[in-house]
Amino acid sequence: MRVETLYPLPGARLLVGAKLADISMDLSGAFAQNCPPISFHRIVLREPCFLRAWLAQPGQVCAQGASIAIFSDAEDEPADTAIARPVRIMTAGITYHPGMWTGQAV
C-alpha cells in the first residue's frame, strides 16, 4: 500500500465521514500482466475523533496492517497513553486525481 494523499492536519477534530487519506494498491507482483493493476482507495472515518499524528507521509509504501496515524477520543489526551484499538474506517474505490503522490514530478 502506498500513501497518496493525507487530508487533515494533526490536532484536527474529525467527524464521521471525514476524509483521512488516499492510498494505492499495486497488485502487479501477483502475476504477469500487460498493464499494472493499480487501484486507488479513500479511507474515511466511521467515528468522531481527533487526529494526533501521522505516522506515514505521501509516497511512503507501508506494510499490510501498518498504522499510518494515531487518533484519540479527547483533544487533550496525553501523548504517552497506550493505543487501545484501531479507529473505525471505511474505504471506497476512487479514480486518480492530481493531488496524489503518484505521477508527481520528483
Condensed to tens digits (0 to 9), the pLDDT of residues 20-58 reads: 999 999 887 767 777 778 899 999 999 999 999 999 999
* 102 located within any domain: no
* 100 located within any domain: no
* 40 located within any domain: yes
Could you tell me the residue range of the domain that residue 22 belongs to?
Answer: 2-94
> What is this structure's pTM?
0.87
Residue 105 has pLDDT above 70, yes or no: no
* 23 located within any domain: yes
* 32 located within any domain: yes
Closest CA to 5 of 24, 26, 22: 22
* 99 located within any domain: no
Tens digits of residue pLDDT in 52-98 = 999 999 999 999 889 999 999 988 888 778 888 999 999 999 999 99
Specify the number of domains making up the chain.
1
